Amino acid sequence: MTAKTYRTLCQLCHSNCGLIVQRNASGELSIQGDPDHPMNRGRCCPKVLANTEILDSPDRLKHPLLKTKTGFKRISWDEALTIAADRLGDIRTRFGPLSLVRCTGAPVSYQGRDGFLEFMGAYGSPNLTGVGNLCMAPRMMAFKSVMGVLRAEPDYDHAELVLFWGGNPLGVERFSSYAAHNGLKEIMPRLKARGVRTIVIDPYLSETAKKADEWVRIQPGGDGALGLAMIHVIINEALYDEGFVGSYTSGFERLRDHVQPFTPGWAEEPTGLPASQIEALSRTYAGSKPAVIHEGNGLDMYTSGVNAVRTIAILIGLTGNIDAPGGNVFMPFPQQAALPTRPTPHKDRIGYKRFPLPFHAPFPVVKEALLNGGEGRPRAMIVHHGNPVLIQANERRTRQALEQLDFLMATDIFPTATTQLADLVLPMTSDFEAYGYRAYSSIEGGFLALAQPAADPVGESRSVFEVEYDLARRMNLGQDYPFHDDRTWIEYMIRPSGVSLGRLEAERVVFATKPVQYRKYVTQGFGTPSGKLEFFSGWFESLGADPLPTYALPAGEPLDAKALEAKGCSLLGASRRPSRFVHTKFKNLEKTAKPYPVPLVYMHPLDAAARKIPDGGAVQVTSPQGRITLKARWTEDTTPGLVWIDFGWGNPTDGQANINVLVSDVFLDPLSGGTPNRLFPCEVLPLG
């Protein structure tokens, strides 16, 4: 074998860092960060090693598998796709196109984002679901309601204050997903050197909080109340940007009247913060111009997450820190094609009447449709690049729901808790075995980067777009398909950016837009119904939702001690992701998982001592939904009464406990359909 060097991407998390992969004469691969890739500039995190471990893992799915009465049996690709085409075709004929659902995981790679999306359009179903209810969809809905766009990214290098709210970017072993021009690990020291004040709002003393100038130890679920009280102070003390508010916003008077009851004194109880601290924080944020707010995933997993983030978007607008240097900015991003090319009516999707705001069907609502039965229930599901059994709240009910399907097809690289339930399992190539691409936003301009295969497909694994097109063709749905494999998919997707695949292959990283231009709203307005930044949301009002953010106790989840005790639970639980892992992945990979072999429950020593639980002791964690066994880890980083439990375990290849056994799927965010994975009642008791 001849030695070769590849320039490619790590697509294990949203950062999609650039990599240099070297293959020696014996075929061994070594990886280093690409110093010329604007996202990571040579850096990469320990997870990057999973890219090569995946190639050699004995757990890999290597052949299509069909479920039989006696277990899974190996079949050929031709048999697998014939079965899939027959079953999906029959279901479409008998129950109509709306009976098919596509369920995906986090779109860390664009193969994950786009796989089977065009197929859904060709089939005629708008029923797309996934993990949006747990990550990003609540924040995107909130930003869109106020600013008309899905994101407003921090411009760290020109800010005078950075407020991290509900996120731990330093602790997740991932660089900024907001601004690709530098990793946050490099940005933090630069902020310190410039004397920029950093504040973290989090119930947990996270890695980011430890490095910040100030930690605001908020009570879990109190973010919306804090946001409303900060708006109250900033308006009543006239700390807002009068010029910006007067010229470029709408609904200020209604917002002003609306927030009068939400005084800092009122917010003391839901936030656990003294009124004086809320007042000081409001004055610091409004008085440090320009300032950015970096909001995090912690805000998504409450049943009041959308309203909490709306208050953040409103704070950004009130202070005029929007699309201005050092504020939250609409960064340039390369244009891409939209899929599916034949979109189906959004209003026909599952759960639209109850949840018209989310862009996709919230998974808990799809689950209800399956469990409630009836004529219109889904009949078939394609799970691509996802693992709903582990990721979604209440594992028992998720399993019951998936068992109602007439046909479940799952694609993956490893057996998972979800592929175990599937009728048909299709082995996929990993990111190092296929072509891929990524579009990035950055202050220097939106750019594209290409991932080229550095290894041959393992076993009979295939890329998702080959499989998808083959299936569509067999079902006579392939006539207008715009691509038939990875390369034609990339070619099609990047065409609107003006960059050709040939150029991307030659240069690997291509800037497709100009550098950031600030204050675009002066000439273009905002993408809201009124064209202004809307404190009073016209979009929410048009769909019957409250046009102004409100605060409610997270639905159904009692926070006070008495109510918790009545449930037999004197603690609150919250999920956390160890930085070694990406969601449910890679617990089975030896090198990647070795430093963190089992999931833990992190508890305050006072809570542990009261229950006679030693550090490292085995415990049973119970909730009204179920019970799991874990090991306890003492930490003073959490608040007494609040325990943090690792999520993402429970696949057949790791054999550990799944936190989502404990989480309720009944209490939903009334706007997003989100579940309370970051706030649920529980009890922890010693085992044995």
Contacting residues toward ligand SF4, per CB under 6 A: 10, 12-13, 15-17, 40, 44-45, 47-48, 174-175
Least separation, in Å, of the C-beta of 169 and ligand SF4?
11
Residue placing its CB nearer to ligand SF4 in the complex, 41 or 283: 41
Residue placing its CB nearer to ligand SF4 in the complex, 184 or 308: 184
Residue placing its CB nearer to ligand SF4 in the complex, 277 or 452: 452
CA distances from 354 to 171, 366, 546, 668 (A): 36, 12, 14, 11
Cα-to-chain-centroid distance, residue 462: 26
Q: Which residue has the tokens 């082995």?
A: 427
Q: What is the rounded CA–CA span in Å between residue 71 and residue 48?
A: 34
Residue placing its CB nearer to ligand SF4 in the complex, 164 or 440: 440
Q: What is the rounded CA–CA span in Å between residue 349 and residue 101?
A: 9
Least separation, in Å, of the C-beta of 181 and ligand SF4?
15
Residue partners of 296: CB distance under 8 A and separation at least 6: 164, 165, 166, 167, 168, 169
DSSP 484-547: SSHHHHHHHHHGGGT--HHHHHHHSEEE-SPSP-S-THHHH--SSTTSSEESS-HHHHHTTS-S
Residue placing its CB nearer to ligand SF4 in the complex, 397 or 508: 508
Token pair listed for 431: 């990111």
Residue placing its CB nearer to ligand SF4 in the complex, 17 or 101: 17
Least separation, in Å, of the C-beta of 22 and ligand SF4?
16
Least separation, in Å, of the C-beta of 352 and ligand SF4?
34
From 173, 132, 106, 203, select the one nearest 573 (Cα to Cα). Answer: 203
The secondary element (H helix, E strand) that includes residue 9 is: strand 4-9
Residue placing its CB nearer to ligand SF4 in the complex, 16 or 658: 16
Residue placing its CB nearer to ligand SF4 in the complex, 177 or 398: 177
b/e map of 85-97 (b: 16 or more CB within 10 Å)? Answer: bebbeebbeebeb
Least separation, in Å, of the C-beta of 517 and ligand SF4?
28
Q: What is the rounded CA–CA span in Å between residue 276 and residue 216?
A: 12
Residue placing its CB nearer to ligand SF4 in the complex, 175 or 634: 175
Token pair listed for 283: 């004055």
Token pair listed for 590: 């030896």
Residue placing its CB nearer to ligand SF4 in the complex, 18 or 121: 18
Residue placing its CB nearer to ligand SF4 in the complex, 416 or 592: 592
Residue placing its CB nearer to ligand SF4 in the complex, 143 or 581: 581
508 with 450: CB under 8 angstroms?
Answer: yes
Q: Which residue has the tokens 């899939």?
A: 84
Least separation, in Å, of the C-beta of 440 and ligand SF4?
12
163 with 284: CB under 8 angstroms?
Answer: no
Q: 482's torsion region: left (phi>0), alpha (psi -120 to 50) or beta?
A: alpha
3-class DSSP state for residue 35? coil
Residue placing its CB nearer to ligand SF4 in the complex, 397 or 585: 585
CA distances from 211 to 95, 142, 214, 321, 450 (A): 56, 28, 9, 24, 35
Q: What is the rounded CA–CA span in Å between residue 66 and residue 74?
A: 6
Least separation, in Å, of the C-beta of 575 and ligand SF4?
20
Residue placing its CB nearer to ligand SF4 in the complex, 41 or 217: 41
Least separation, in Å, of the C-beta of 644 and ligand SF4?
22
Residue placing its CB nearer to ligand SF4 in the complex, 32 or 542: 32
Least separation, in Å, of the C-beta of 18 and ligand SF4?
9
Beta bridge partners of 362: none
Least separation, in Å, of the C-beta of 434 and ligand SF4?
16
Least separation, in Å, of the C-beta of 311 and ligand SF4?
30
DSSP 208: H
DSSP 251-270: -HHHHHHHTTT--HHHHHHH
Residue partners of 246: CB distance under 8 A and separation at least 6: none
Residue partners of 625: CB distance under 8 A and separation at least 6: 394, 396, 661, 662, 663, 664
Least separation, in Å, of the C-beta of 656 and ligand SF4?
21
Residue placing its CB nearer to ligand SF4 in the complex, 45 or 369: 45
Least separation, in Å, of the C-beta of 585 and ligand SF4?
10
Least separation, in Å, of the C-beta of 580 and ligand SF4?
10
DSSP 302-331: STTHHHHHHHHHHHHHHTT-BSSTTSEE--
127 with 98: CB under 8 angstroms?
Answer: yes
Q: What is the rounded CA–CA span in Å between residue 208 and residue 215?
A: 9
Half-sphere exposure of 124 (CA within 13 A, CB side): 13
Q: Which residue has the tokens 């605001």?
A: 216
Least separation, in Å, of the C-beta of 40 and ligand SF4?
6
Residue placing its CB nearer to ligand SF4 in the complex, 168 or 321: 168
E-strand spans in 328-435?
328-329, 380-384, 407-412, 424-427
Cα-to-chain-centroid distance, residue 109: 12
From 151, 75, 173, 274, select the one nearest 527 (Cα to Cα). Answer: 151
Least separation, in Å, of the C-beta of 60 and ligand SF4?
19
Cα-to-chain-centroid distance, residue 624: 26
Least separation, in Å, of the C-beta of 56 and ligand SF4?
18
